[in-house]
Structure 1
Amino acid sequence: MDQGGGFEAVFLDPVGQAVQQRWADAAMTVAFEDLPPVSAFPVVPGRRWGPGLWWSATTGRHVAAGSNAMRAQLMVLDRDADVTGLAGRPVRLLWRNPRGEVRSWVPQLFARRADATALLADCPSHPDAGGERAKNAAEAVAQACADIGWTYRRLPPLDDVLAANLKWLAGYRHPRNAGQPGLMAAVVEAFTRPRPLIEGTEAVGDPIEVLPCVFHALWHGRLTAGLDTPLHERLLIGPQGWSDPGKTGGAG
């Protein structure tokens, strides 16, 4: 490894063999969004939620998730229209500290953006998670990303209400919830003018059939609502790009 402090990347090739190469070269040539985890997520005894898989509506594939906090951030990124690919722990970064000692870190999340740049991220359950080692690694990984025009972030935990709303909408992210041909167009048309959720739904048809399509449209951004308030039947729903989604409808 370069004694001068250059970064290197370790990842798995298509047959599962570890490859190590210069970070700047790997970033230009490797589709990290298509790679499996370079190392498994740890299983921590006593935790209520362990490693699992998240089905991504963006890619139609599963993404490895190591914690509940990471799954919450995957929900946010999976709804982001600028994100084109997602992967869990696809790359390990290596570097030398000022004393010449080799250090390494595996960011939890990789997100490819539409402009071909990328986000590397960690998803701590609280700001001080990981201690001093995580803080030092964050500084190094942020520099490695800045060197190539990418971004690194320690993503703060989501607000409880937002997380609950996203979890609900995520249950309708699969294309099957778009319903019968023509239903999505009718749903979008019903909310051209912002109106309470239940009113627009009933204007289209039977709520049992229509609500999954409405939630699917909200997940994919075809409709807009303020998600900082718990979802309820009087929540105002508006069209894509609606600029004032923070208000709710009256009791009615």
Structure 2
Amino acid sequence: MAPGWWWSATDGRLVRYGSGVMRTQVMLLDHDPEVVAVACRPVEFVWREPDGSCLEHAPHLMARLDDGSGLLVDCAGQEEVSRRLAHRAEVVAAAVASVGWRYRIARPPDPVLAANLSWLAGYRHPRYRGGALAGRVAEAFQRSRPLIEGVRGLGDPVEVLPVVFHALWNGALSAPLDAPLHERVTVTAARTVGRRQA
């Protein structure tokens, strides 16, 4: 996948990504309810090694969290991390821990989770919120039930499904995303109102 831009539902801004691996991690951060902002390479670390050489590293992503702290993320395209990245990760993790932030190397997510979130992300824009229908959607799923039953009880699936998918993206509804989404998946209304549901 070529470099591009991701429209973030979290803060309504475009976030640059340099690869498909990075795009997937931007999507995961955009879906995370603790994240309030996402940026691409906003900071670079420069330090001197014991042998006198100078090293630098710019983590791929930064997320501002709802508690005010930061999370720096490097995106690994595979489970195995190179020695080069592992060394830089140690230095960056120590530096950010000293100011109360976190650092992680994000490995590829489960393919089913990634596919489900990619589908739901297509409905992340507020235009799919559904106005008055959104409240009815939440009511329809107060009791856990198969997706299609709740949708058909609300009206035309062509009109209702985008609102349901938006609610699944923003956390107003929940479903197990570690298994393939399908019409019989069990959907439930969230017990608490999240920040993205307002």
Which TM-score band (shorter chain)? over 0.9
Once the two structures are superposed, residues 23-66 of structure 1 have per-residue CA deviations (whole angstroms, 9 ceiling, x without a partner) of xxxxxxxxxxxxxxxxxxxxxxxxxx121111000011100111
Question: Residues 106-145 of structure 1: matches in 2 within 5 Å?
Answer: 106-129=58-81, 131-145=82-96
1:155 aligns with 2:106: yes
Secondary structure of the corresponding residue to residue 74 of structure 1: helix
- The answer to whether the Cα contact below 8 Å between 1:204 and 1:210 also exists between their aligned partners in 2 is yes
Partner of 2:160: 210
Match of 1:197 among 139, 144, 147: 147
Q: What is the CA–CA distance in structure 2 between the aligned matches of 1:233 and 1:55, rounded to whole Å?
A: 27
State the distance in 1 between where 2:112 and 2:31 align: 17
Inter-partner Cα distance in structure 2 for 1:168 and 1:127: 24
* Equivalent of 2:35 in 83, 107, 125: 83
Following superposition, the deviation at residue 100 of structure 1 comes to: 2.2
**What 5-or-longer segments of structure 2 have no aligned partner?**
193-198
Q: Deviations over 1:78-126 (max 9, x none)?
A: 1122111100111111111111221100100100011111000111111
Aligned length: 192
Give identity over the alignment, percent. 53
CA distances 1:118-158 after superposition (whole Å, capped 9, x unpaired)? 000111111335x2211111111111111111001001211
Whichever residue aligns with residue 116 of structure 2, its letter is N
Q: Which has the higher contact order (CA 8 A, sep 6+)?
A: 2
What is the deviation of 1:241?
A: 4.3
Amino acid at match of 2:183: E
Over 3 Å off, 4+ runs: none
Tell me the TM-score normalised to structure 1 length. Answer: 0.74
Where 1:64 maps in the other structure, the secondary structure is strand
1:178 aligns with 2:129: yes
What TM-score does the superposition give when structure 2 sets the normalisation length?
0.94
Task: Decide whether the 8 Å contact of 1:142 with 1:152 is kept in 2.
Answer: yes
| Cα pair 1:170 1:219 within 8 Å, conserved | yes
> After the TM superposition, which residues 225-240 of structure 1 pair with which residues of structure 2 at under 5 Å, given as runs?
225-240=175-190
Question: How far does the alpha carbon of each residue in 1:189-219 deviate from its partner, in whole angstroms, 9 at most, with x for none?
Answer: 0000000000000111110000000000000
In structure 2, distance between residues paired with 1:68 and 1:239: 32
Q: What SS is found at the alignment partner of 1:228?
A: coil
What SS is found at the alignment partner of 2:51? coil
RMSD of Structure 2 on Structure 1 (CA): 1.2
Residue 223 (structure 1) aligns with: 173
Task: Work out whether residues 224 and 241 of structure 1, in 8 Å CA contact, stay in contact via their aligned partners in 2.
Answer: no
Once residues 144 and 51 of structure 1 are traced to their aligned partners in structure 2, the CA distance between those partners, rounded to angstroms, is 29
Q: Does 1:100 pair with 2:47?
A: no
Identify the residue that residue 247 of structure 1 maps to in structure 2.
Answer: none
